[in-house]
Structure 1
Amino acid sequence: DSSSVFKAVRWLRSPGAFQPPPLQVDDVVYETQLDKANALRRATLERRTAEDDIQDPWIEVSPRKTIPFPHEISLEEAQDATLRTGNTSPGADNITVKLLTAVWHIIGTHVRRLFEGCLAIGHHPKPFRAAEVVMIAKPGRRDLTTPRAWRPISLLSCLGKGLERLVARRLAWACIHHGVLHPQQAGALPKRSATDLVAALVHDIEEAFARKKVATLVTMDIQGAFDTVLRNRLILRLREQGWPEHLARWAGSFMDDRSA
């Protein structure tokens, strides 16, 4: 059909070579590709430290309740977390979701055992913690000479992302089922979205207006929220909430000794 023809034409069309301009950090200008890459690495990946972290996350805690999080994994759950996703770019191993899908009938049982073993002992394999970082220009940014105009994109192992996705889905379900998060928390939770938050906001504003009152909205944004998570404090917080030890250890291993 005509749509397939247009797709083929777009693939054949050369996008042209894009040469990003020199990069300026403070008063220093970097012109070569290597110098710019190193400057972006320092500006975006090495700007955070763990100076405010605690020393020992394994101190004695007394959680009010225990949240069940079994380490047993079914073959269907492992397959769904690993394969039922977009065909994302692979990491350093160059193993794509398409390739994993093609050989799943051979490796599926072994992947399930791997994921189950990782959860049981609380370990995230080192190859899954190695990322290839690609710098992408932020939409609408015209001044590409500043590091703030670039966004780092981490390319991770598709197999490792399957394990991450599996744990994230279980965490989200358990958080809702056991009331770990506030009922109005919407981020990264199933069946909740920004649309729900907007609807709740509109309702509160209309309710205030109906009572002849003034509605005030305060918003906050944490710069680099995910980049500033402190490993040991996260482990301690998970244990205080009542999550099992093997999950806390996996989270600690997930954040430990990552490379890019």
Structure 2
Amino acid sequence: MADKFSNEEKFSASRNPLDFIPKRLRNSLFLFDTSISELINLILVQNPKKSVSFDLISNRIIQKTQNTIAPFLLVLFNNCLRKGIFPNCFKVAQVTPLHKGGERLDRNSYRPISLLPALGKLLEKIILVRVLNFFDKHSLLSTHQFGFRPKFTTEYAILDVYEKLIYNLDNGLTSCTIFLDLAKAFDSVSHDILLKKLEKYGVRGNALALFTSYLDSRSQFIKLGEVNSSTLPIDFGVPQGSILGPLLFLIYINDLPLATNFFIKLYADDAVLCAQNEDLKALETEVNFELDKVWAWLFSNKLTLNIKKSKCMIISKKRKKQSIRVTIDGSELEQCSSYKYLGVIFDKNLNWKPHINHLCIKLARACGCLVKIRNCVSTETLREIYHALIHSYLRYGIIVWGNAKKTTIQPLITLINRAVRIMSFAPFGQIDLKAIFKEFRLLDMDQIFTLESANFMYKRNVGLLPTKVGEYFEKRALSTHSFSLRRRPTNTHSQIKYKTSIGENCIQIRGDKLWCDVPKTIQDSMSLSSFKKLFKEHLLSLT
């Protein structure tokens, strides 16, 4: 394998960043005019409670005067689209430092909140609709990118990584998972490179001129209390607090998966890389070779890696400690036993103990809060607090970690039961907790896992999942069957083969098994909200 790598064509860190994009799209984006109806609809969906920028024109004012100002805005915005000009008055950001904890004299204790003019953000939304439609039509955004996209969520990114690791374990492969931390990625975007990438993706003519104008001559000032700083230019990065900024960053980083043979998962600037092999030495060689490619892409695109915060983790069925030396640009990555990725803590054994221990700390604090306030608020308020401080943490990512061993999950179950006892003023001892759960219309641990897994399966069966996630089930060749997607036969899970008991944990297997237990009338629900409501009632009825 080492010979194979050494014989491959050498790559240079000074490569043209456009070389990673294989071909130039022949089609071009056309920014068609907006209309009064589109403009009014966009005005109506604006959040009236959003903070106002330096021009003091709020969304509330725009909504109250929409019938008067809409015709004038229509002329202004259409001229911007036709001539490729983004007004300079919309490109000034008011930055307010928000204290996030720590020493008040330490600037690192503040989070900058960037406020842009509301009218400018309205124009950005008009542009965004057209660019997104164009990119979706030509499937330009990478399927490996889960950030800032309709249907894609952090939970699906977590699930995608987990499914890959489970597949490797089931096939006797050792995985090296690398968690990359990009230093200030959004603020490091090169405007010149971004505009060249936009051109290659079909943004040309007036559309490219508009984006050039949008990025050019941007500035910001700091507002602290009643004092404003001087205005300074912004020459790098996508505009913070903007509508188009997240999409522009996705476009900038879109070709990273093409630069490497790693399994790669992106959620905006959060990147997970994974390689696998039966032989540990071969795995080390492959990982370091591919990391050189990743570094070449980062260097060419003027992005910086935070080496200290980037980690690697070895996941294997072998009991003997597995260790390899992973380096990038001459610096060695620290090997960790667990890592918090998008709010869920992955561990080297995939037993979820670190994550569940983390949840136990949060739930213990929530129980303390319930004890302090239960005599001061109504039962309904207690129930709302339970959902905010306990249920929300339990349901997040549970389709991944919820199938942990019962002994691992038991501390969570104990804390949930404690919370329910506190809310109901029930004495400690042997009582019928199931009746209390039902009275408060709360689901227990197993029921939350079942409901969230069933919701996932419903989304899959009616086409509400991203294409990338839906691919988990492609092996079943559903087109050969005549049954409805919502009424799947009870033995569909048998079509997926797994080699060990580990393989049973994949969503394909347990998802189909669970779906078979959902009553047919509930499977045929006309909407996701209806399905959630009916299936929750079904679970409560079984209590």
TM-based fold match above 0.5:
yes
Aligned-residue CA RMSD in angstroms?
2.1
Counterparts of 2:212 and 2:115, CA distance in 1: 20
Greater share of helix: 2
1:206 to 162, 166, 172: 166
Counterparts of 1:82 and 1:228, CA distance in 2: 32
Offset of 1:227 from its aligned partner? 1.7
Is residue 53 of structure 2 the alignment partner of residue 91 of structure 1?
yes
1:95–1:150: structure 2 CA closer, same or farther, 3 Å change rule?
same
Counterparts of 1:246 and 1:188, CA distance in 2: 25
Aligned letter for 1:257? S
Aligned letter for 2:65? V
Offset of 1:209 from its aligned partner? 1.7
Counterparts of 1:144 and 1:170, CA distance in 2: 43
1:230–1:133: structure 2 CA closer, same or farther, 3 Å change rule?
same
Counterparts of 1:132 and 1:232, CA distance in 2: 24
Offset of 1:246 from its aligned partner? 1.4
Conserved 8 A contact 2:29-2:131? no
Greater share of strand: 2
Is the partner of 1:227 in helix, strand or coil?
helix
Aligned letter for 1:231? H
Is the partner of 1:218 in helix, strand or coil?
strand
Is the partner of 1:215 in helix, strand or coil?
strand
1:193 to 153, 161, 171: 153
Offset of 1:94 from its aligned partner? 0.6
Offset of 1:223 from its aligned partner? 2.1
Partner in structure 1 of residue 9 of structure 2: none
Partner in structure 2 of residue 257 of structure 1: 217
1:220–1:85: structure 2 CA closer, same or farther, 3 Å change rule?
farther
Write the deviation string for residues 141-190 of structure 1: whole angstroms up to 9, x where unpaired. 32333222212111111111111122223323322221212112122222
1:115 to 58, 74, 77: 77
| Identity within the alignment, % | 24
Partner in structure 2 of residue 101 of structure 1: 63
**Within 5 A, what are the aligned runs for 1:1-260?**
63-86=24-47, 87-138=49-100, 141-260=101-220
1:218–1:81: structure 2 CA closer, same or farther, 3 Å change rule?
farther
Counterparts of 2:116 and 2:179, CA distance in 1: 32
TM superposition score normalised by structure 1: 0.69
Offset of 1:119 from its aligned partner? 1.5
Conserved 8 A contact 1:130-1:259? yes
Write the deviation string for residues 121-147 of structure 1: whole angstroms up to 9, x where unpaired. 111111101121100123xx3233322
Offset of 1:99 from its aligned partner? 0.8
Conserved 8 A contact 2:31-2:130? no
Counterparts of 1:166 and 1:220, CA distance in 2: 34
Aligned letter for 2:41? D
Offset of 1:118 from its aligned partner? 0.9
Aligned letter for 2:28? I
Partner in structure 1 of residue 463 of structure 2: none
1:73–1:133: structure 2 CA closer, same or farther, 3 Å change rule?
same
Aligned letter for 2:59? V
Conserved 8 A contact 1:65-1:242? yes
Q: Which runs of 5+ in 1 are unaligned?
A: 1-53, 55-61
Is the partner of 2:96 in helix, strand or coil?
strand
Offset of 1:114 from its aligned partner? 1.6
1:214–1:222: structure 2 CA closer, same or farther, 3 Å change rule?
same
Is the partner of 2:168 in helix, strand or coil?
helix
Conserved 8 A contact 1:208-1:215? yes
Aligned letter for 1:213? L
Is the partner of 1:220 in helix, strand or coil?
strand
Counterparts of 1:244 and 1:128, CA distance in 2: 22
1:172–1:144: structure 2 CA closer, same or farther, 3 Å change rule?
farther
- Deviating 4+ runs (over 3 angstroms): 80-83
1:113–1:195: structure 2 CA closer, same or farther, 3 Å change rule?
farther
Tell me the number of residue pairs that the alignment of Structure 1 and Structure 2 aligns: 198
Conserved 8 A contact 1:83-1:100? no
1:247–1:96: structure 2 CA closer, same or farther, 3 Å change rule?
same
Write the deviation string for residues 200-227 of structure 1: whole angstroms up to 9, x where unpaired. 1121122112112223322223222222
Partner in structure 2 of residue 5 of structure 1: none
Aligned letter for 1:136? L
Counterparts of 1:170 and 1:216, CA distance in 2: 40
Which one has the largest radius of gyration?
2
Offset of 1:195 from its aligned partner? 1.9
Conserved 8 A contact 2:31-2:127? no
The higher-RCO structure (CA 8 Å, 6+ apart) is 1
